[in-house]
Amino acid sequence: MRAEPSGVYRSELDEARFAIRVARVGWMTPELLPVALAYCRENRVSLLMSKCMGTERRTVHAMEQAGFLLMEAMLCLAGDLTRRLPEKPAGVVVRPFEKSDEKEVLRLAEACFAGYESHYHADDRLDRAKSDEIQVDWARRACASREVADQVLVAESEGSLAGYFILKSNTNEEADVAVAAVIPDHRGTGVYEALVVHSMHWAAARGATRITGLVQATNVAVQRTPMKLGWVPRYLYYTLHKWFD
Ligand SMILES: CC(C)(COP(=O)(O)OP(=O)(O)OC[C@H]1O[C@@H](n2cnc3c(N)ncnc32)[C@H](O)[C@@H]1OP(=O)(O)O)[C@@H](O)C(=O)NCCC(=O)NCCS
């Protein structure tokens, strides 16, 4: 599981993007809920975004009663790397990104995520154009900083890039596919499968015993291939938003 700051905290990235006061809670609990609400009121926060484990039914109900709206349901899929890994498919070149790929990766991010419905997009009060910038910005930061990504893998097809994965180690044992994307005209061609398999080999080579990916429960396309390769559901959580004005 990705490390999350504890408690309630202001989100610099979101505040800079949306030009409003935004706070976040990693994982909401019944004890944290009143604390987070009081913090937001005291600090004149406009929007609180919070995740809550799907198993925390009472917390979800308390959040609903406090005026939160459900924005997305996320599923964590996990692949066991202690088993024999699938062979890297022939025919698709997958390699670590190079500095000279950056412009192309940003172009892919824009094309791959056009129309993508994140929890930001699901919130009618957030500017869609600004929400659209998130994946491009994420790709830019992943190409630039080891704090954002430990590796960016790119897939080549017919002389250009067809997809990319942003990879991060959660712990020594667990690696995570933070972003998975294939350009629309190369979907259904095996590019995604090649990226999934290469990400498993990348993680195993670093000593990880598990690889994870957080996917929207409604995004069937992203789930099928990892599941066919043996990845299984691990947990489900919700992202909820509450506005204070
Ligand atoms: C998710 C993504 C990487 C998958 O790439 P892809 O090339 O389409 O994947 P695959 O070729 O493995 O095929 C996807 C599977 O889902 C199915 N599928 C595709 N769209 C679907 C839909 N809307 N509903 C149901 N199933 C769908 C396909 O038929 C295929 O199933 P099959 O292998 O049993 O035939 C690509 O769609 C993408 O970049 N999407 C936008 C970005 C995104 O959502 N990223 C994930 C969150 S980070």
Same domain, 219 and 232: yes
Same domain, 149 and 220: yes
For residue 222, the surrounding DSSP H or E stretch is helix 220-228
Average pLDDT over residues 76-97: 97
Same domain, 150 and 45: no
CA of 181 to the centre of ligand 1 (A): 9
In ligand 1, the atom with minimum distance to the C-alpha of 187 is: 7
Which residue CA neighbors atom 13 of ligand 1 most closely?
188
Instruction: Tell me if 78 sits within 8 A of 231, measured CB to CB.
Output: yes
Angle between helices 128-144 and 102-112 (to 10 degrees): 150
Same domain, 178 and 138: yes
Tell me the CATH number at 127.
3.40.630.30
- Which residue in 149, 158, 155 sits closest to 195, CA to CA? 155
CA of 180 to the centre of ligand 1 (A): 10
Sorting pLDDT into bands at 50, 70 and 90, what band is 1?
Answer: confident
pLDDT digits (tens, 9 = 90+) for 178-202: 999 999 999 999 999 999 999 999 9
- Which residue in 156, 168, 155, 154 sits closest to 213, CA to CA? 168
Same domain, 173 and 201: yes
With respect to residue 16, please indicate whether it lies within any of the assigned structural domains: yes
With respect to residue 195, please indicate whether it lies within any of the assigned structural domains: yes
Question: With 80 as the cut, is the pLDDT of residue 3 above it?
Answer: no
In ligand 1, the atom with minimum distance to the C-alpha of 222 is: 1
With respect to residue 101, please indicate whether it lies within any of the assigned structural domains: yes
With respect to residue 37, please indicate whether it lies within any of the assigned structural domains: yes
CA of 31 to the centre of ligand 1 (A): 39
- pTM attached to this predicted model: 0.95
Work out how many domains the chain is built from and give that number. Answer: 2
CA of 209 to the centre of ligand 1 (A): 25
Same domain, 86 and 68: no
Per-residue pLDDT, 210: 98
Average pLDDT over residues 162-180: 97
Ligand 1 in reach of 193 Cβ (< 6 A): yes
Q: Report the percentage of the chain scoring pLDDT > 70.
A: 100
CA of 182 to the centre of ligand 1 (A): 9
Segments forming the whole domain that contains residue 46:
8-74
Beta strands 93-96; 174-182: pairing state: unpaired
Same domain, 66 and 86: no
Instruction: Tell me if 110 sits within 8 A of 138, measured CB to CB.
Output: no
In ligand 1, the atom with minimum distance to the C-alpha of 182 is: 39
Average pLDDT over residues 53-63: 97
Q: Which phi-psi region, left, alpha or beta, contains residue 230 (left: φ > 0; alpha: ψ -120 to 50)?
A: left
Same domain, 216 and 155: yes
For residue 27, the surrounding DSSP H or E stretch is strand 22-27
With respect to residue 49, please indicate whether it lies within any of the assigned structural domains: yes
Same domain, 49 and 134: no
Ligand 1 in reach of 169 Cβ (< 6 A): no
Ligand 1 in reach of 192 Cβ (< 6 A): yes
pLDDT digits (tens, 9 = 90+) for 110-125: 999 988 999 999 999 9
Report helix, strand or coil for 99: helix
With respect to residue 85, please indicate whether it lies within any of the assigned structural domains: yes
In ligand 1, the atom with minimum distance to the C-alpha of 215 is: 47
Same domain, 125 and 201: yes
CA of 112 to the centre of ligand 1 (A): 11
Ligand 1 in reach of 165 Cβ (< 6 A): no
Same domain, 27 and 130: no
Which sign, positive or negative, has the C-alpha torsion 28, 29, 34, 38? negative
With respect to residue 242, please indicate whether it lies within any of the assigned structural domains: no
With respect to residue 1, please indicate whether it lies within any of the assigned structural domains: no
Query: Per mean pLDDT, which range of 2-11, 12-21, 40-49, 207-216 is the poorest?
Result: 2-11
Ligand 1 in reach of 219 Cβ (< 6 A): yes
